[in-house]
Amino acid sequence: MQDVDSILGNQILLVAIIACLLAQGIKLITSLIQKGRIDVRHLFSTGGMPSAHSALVAALATGVGQVKGWNSAEFAIAALFAVIVMYDAAGVRQAAGKQARILNQILDELFQEGKELNEERLKELLGHTPFQVLMGLILGIGVSLVAGMIVV
């Protein structure tokens, strides 16, 4: 039970999770503005504005820097981890989404004559644009800095 209390008392972890949840919540608002309705699926989906992955790792790295020091090994690890996650979000997963879109188009064209396809369509919105990653980065840093001011 003491371990659970230690985990729940980890300020850096909580701030990172809050940044991630805030980014997911912003996606609901963005969906409402764009489509005129709330789509709860955005809370549990990847892709979209801002990047929740980027917000989480940016808040994590910023929190580690604030607590352990900007020249610590812990900050270096967290910062490099954040860069890898954000690169993946904007690069690899974005490319996979483009491939899925093309494959879905090919399947649509192949089976447009009434033939059935039993497979599920591929998810096309996997990654983020560089702008979405940048906004997640800014959000994560901002949440961590504000939380640091509140705690101090």
Residue 97 pLDDT greater than 90, yes or no: no
| Reported confidence tier of residue 152, pLDDT bands at 50, 70, 90 | very low
Check: CB of residue 63 under 8 Å from CB of residue 144.
yes
Decide if pLDDT at 126 tops 70: no
Domain ranges in the chain? 2-151
Specify the pLDDT at position 73.
97
What is the 3-state composition of the chain as percent helix, strand, coil, each rounded to the nearest 5?
Answer: 75, 0, 25
Q: What mean pLDDT do residues 108-130 have? A: 63
| Predicted confidence (pLDDT) per residue in 33-79, tens digit | 878 887 777 677 767 788 898 999 999 999 999 999 999 999 999 99
